[in-house]
Amino acid sequence: MSLPEFWFLLIAVLFTGYFVLEGFDYGVGMLMPILGRGSEVRKRVVLNTIGPVWDGNEVWLLTAGGAMFAAFPEWYASLFSGFYLALLLILVGLIARACAIEWRSKINDDKWRVWCDIGIGLGSWIPALAWGLAFANIVRGVKLDAHRQIGGNLLDLLNPYALLGGLTTLLLFMLHGALFIALKTGNEVRDAAQALIRKLFVPTAVVVAAFGVWTQLAYGKGWTWIPLVLAVAGLLIAGFAATQGRDGWAFTGTALTIVGATALLFGSLFPNVLPSTIDAAFSLTVDGRAGTVSASSTHYTLVVMSWVAVAMVPVVLIYQGWTYWVFRQRLTVEQIPAPIGLPLESAPKV
Amino acid sequence: MSVVDLARWQFGITTVYHFIFVPLTIGLAPLVAGMQTAWVITGKEHWYRLTKFFGKLFLINFALGVATGIVQEFQFGMSWSEYSRFVGDVFGAPLAMEALVAFFLESTFLGLWIFGWTRLPKKVHLATIWLVAIGVNASAYFIVAANSFMQHPVGAEYNPNTKRAELTSIWELITNNTTLAAFPHVVAGAFLTSGTFVAGIAGWWMVRKVRAGRKASDTAPVEEARTMWRPAARMGLYVVLVAAVALVFTGDIQGKLMFKQQPMKMASAESLCHTETDPDFSVLTIGTHNNCDSVNHLIEVPGVLPYLAEGKFSDVTLAGVKDLQLTYNEKYGVGDYRPNLFVTYWSFRAMIGFLAGSILLALAGFWVTRRGRVPDQKWFSWLSLIAIVTPFLGNISGWIFTEMGRQPWVVAPNPTGDQHIRMTVQQGVSGVTAGTIVTSLIVFTLLYGLLAVAWFYLMRRYVVAGPEDPAPTDNGPRMTGDAVAKLSFAY
């Protein structure tokens, strides 16, 4: 494997980590008002399943972005300037979510919490939909011209294949989040999550399978049948385990589906990183093979970054894994302390 | 406005906004860690209460620092894609390292610190906040190294085939003399910010408690002022003193480097239009600064400028803006190579001037708390509050000076480096429409404005509310196993 190929793999791994970990965060954010309807304490149980870990999970995105910049600057530059307004939407969601999660409990007032819940909602629904939309468009190809600029507008991103991709990540992350909540909570919240999983499972399975098969038939390679089969198998495991009340296996199932789906997308994309629909010669590829444009950094940069990644990624995995271990036990409504926020009023006179 | 102007405004607004919250995070994390260490070692309850109190303020602030930081990670590609192509091979490395080494560390261990009060053994829990403190400072190192490449590119060479800067030595990049001077300066600024913040709040509470106790003829509040707020205030004041000395010292080193490496920046900081030998240091000028000849130098101090530039008091010849402009025209082709003289002149003075706020607080604070005294003077509580704002303004002014003094370059040519590694902002901007950037500019400005109001409301609310009394369980035994007990913290 050449270094650019290794870095393509590593970026795929970073995005896989991001989708597996933030997938359930977005799911939790989307389901908080649904599973906690009418009960503030149940809402807090749901939100606190990701309490200690959501911030660390989000760093996977920043690292994937930084790795794209370092290893494939052409990819980073073309993609993010080309998808400008779509990325702006995601950023608005993520900004709102970060502040809303951290600030929600600071003021003990219903109106304040409504605003924070809107922020958490924006920051969960938008990226859950947008990442599928974005990656489907990347695999499908964009109007990349000879000057490495992406033409077209925001509406070009809304083609049927990409919309199905967006719906896929939306439903998959929601199911993944519901399974995570079922795994991390006890009593009534767990029951509510399991009831929701039963309703959510079939539509999700149908959409994921449809998007997977479309991707495989239109853009796939011989070997990408394997991740597609893994993705579908993961869903079946999740569905079966969920009916048996085996929350851990069920959650592992959707995690496997996300790994498979991400591998399918990146596998279909390779060796391109940004295919051009105008002319294949304008396509950005990992190393400029067959007369295309190379997106890669120099050999030296890739060597340096490889050493850093090889040293740091295992360390990160160990301490993040330990964090999950520390907070492993199930949450129940009984464990949620009374709100400690200050009342919503102007500060007392100085 | 052109696309490049809009993109500059956007990057400026989002970065300045980010850097309101960042220095407080960088400086406050080690101070909170220090308070918690004091509690773990001495077992004194007031250190526990201070840790919790300043910890809350730290978290309110941290959220906004994280949220605005996400934007920065992607903005290079969004608005400055040609720049990203040109330097990505070099510039991407410190950014990716920052995420791998620092962002993961701080975000993961902060989660453990927030939720781990009754979950982790006391000393492990203490270690988590120290790792957060290390993480936030490490991230500053990498991002300052990236920025320093734009100011003084080293460790790279130009490849004419790919038309981009290519990394040749990571070691040279991360030991760039600009980085080695800028990083301690930034960290010292952050410690000044947090030291002033802690001292200011504790100073205000000290006076408030003493007066409240006297009014109600109650000794308890006066006792709290003496045992809790006085040590906290003095801790902040010591940090301010050390940070102020470090700022002056590192600032001087940085200035000397700039005279060598970015002479145009320093010439415009002084509104020095013509090349002179032993020019005087300008304190006050009037006139339309962007027209060199209309500037009237009103107050000047001799000897200072030669010392700032080269460490001696005479026989120093410094190039003026006009002559540098001619030289650059010859070297890099016809163009305007002058930064905005008004902004560079005044931001430089503002950066230095705002240091007075913290120093004044330190002098007054040490005086009124001398030999065990607890102050009750109203003027001191006002000084404490006002001083809190000044380091923020100083930090902002300093970055505006650094970044706007580099104009028109986005990568300033290194006088002793590869002359092909240079790029103007005009060349670095993305090929997107003005409408796109206007949209994002409006969205970011409104969203950020709204969040700033909420941030200020929360900070003020929590400062005025003061620390809670320690709950009995907090100091008690740690929770073990799967016992059903209330969480020590839940969102």
Rounded to the nearest angstrom, the minimum Cα separation between A56 and chain B is: 5
The token pair at A172 is 């998959």
The answer to which of A305-314, A329-338, B348-357 has the lowest mean pLDDT is A329-338
Given this model, what pLDDT does residue B473 score?
A: 45
**Are B110 and A55 inside 8 Å of each other by CB?**
yes
Q: Which residue has the higher pLDDT, A347 or A147?
A: A147
pTM across the whole model: 0.92
Measured in degrees and rounded to the nearest 5, phi and psi for residue B160 equal: -65, -25
CA B299 – CA A314 distance, rounded (Å): 60
Asked if pLDDT for residue B480 goes beyond 60, the answer is no
Given this model, what pLDDT does residue A125 score?
A: 96
Place B229 in a pLDDT band, splitting at 50, 70 and 90.
very high
Which residue in A has a C-alpha nearest to residue B82's C-alpha? A77
CA A196 – CA A171 distance, rounded (Å): 12
Q: Which residue has the higher pLDDT, B277 or B328?
A: B328
Given this model, what pLDDT does residue B477 score?
A: 47
Dump pLDDT digits (tens) for B118-160.
888 889 999 999 999 999 999 999 999 999 999 999 999 999 9
Beta strand residue intervals within B319-469, DSSP E: 409-411, 423-424
Q: Return the percentage of chain A with pLDDT > 70, whole number.
A: 99
Q: Span B406-427, mean pLDDT?
A: 90
Q: Return the percentage of chain B with pLDDT > 90, whole number.
A: 62
**Are A73 and B85 inside 8 Å of each other by CB?**
yes
Per DSSP, B227 falls in state I
ipTM associated with this complex: 0.93
Given this model, what pLDDT does residue B306 score?
A: 79
Q: Span A30-45, mean pLDDT?
A: 91
Query: Which of A81, A305, A319 comes nearest B96 by C-beta?
Result: A305
The strand pair at B409-411 and A293-294 is best described as unpaired
Provide the H-helix boundaries in B270-335. 304-310, 321-332
State the number of CA atoms in the 13 A half-sphere of B155 facing the CB: 27
Rounded to the nearest angstrom, the minimum Cα separation between B457 and chain A is: 8
Q: Span A69-80, mean pLDDT?
A: 93
The answer to which of A1-15, A78-92, A246-260, B209-223 has the lowest mean pLDDT is B209-223
* Displacement of CA A328 from its chain's centroid (Å): 22
Place B471 in a pLDDT band, splitting at 50, 70 and 90.
low
Residues of chain B found within 8 Å of residue A348, distances taken between Cβ atoms = 464
Q: Confirm if A29 and A75 have CB atoms less than 8 A apart.
A: no
**Are B103 and A59 inside 8 Å of each other by CB?**
yes
Q: Which residue has the higher pLDDT, A302 or A348?
A: A302
Q: Which residue type occupies B306?
A: P
Dump pLDDT digits (tens) for B51-63.
999 999 999 999 9
Given this model, what pLDDT does residue A258 score?
A: 96
Asked if pLDDT for residue B483 goes beyond 80, the answer is no
Which residue in B has a C-alpha nearest to residue A304's C-alpha? B170
Which residue in B has a C-alpha nearest to residue A323's C-alpha? B112
CA B92 – CA B77 distance, rounded (Å): 11
Whether B442 has its CB under 8 Å from any CB of chain A: the answer is no
Query: Which of B103, B108, B168 comes nearest A300 by C-beta?
Result: B168
**Are A95 and B67 inside 8 Å of each other by CB?**
yes
Dump pLDDT digits (tens) for B256-270.
888 889 889 988 888
Q: Cα dist. B344→A43, B328, B355, B407, B426 in Å? A: 51, 19, 17, 10, 20
The answer to which of A25-39, A150-164, A179-193, B432-446 has the lowest mean pLDDT is A150-164
- Rounded to the nearest integer, the mean pLDDT of chain B is 89
Query: Judged by CB atoms within 8 Å, which residues 84-103 of B form the interface with A?
Result: 84-85, 87-93, 95-101, 103
Q: Span B306-310, mean pLDDT?
A: 79
Measured in degrees and rounded to the nearest 5, phi and psi for residue B116 equal: -100, 10
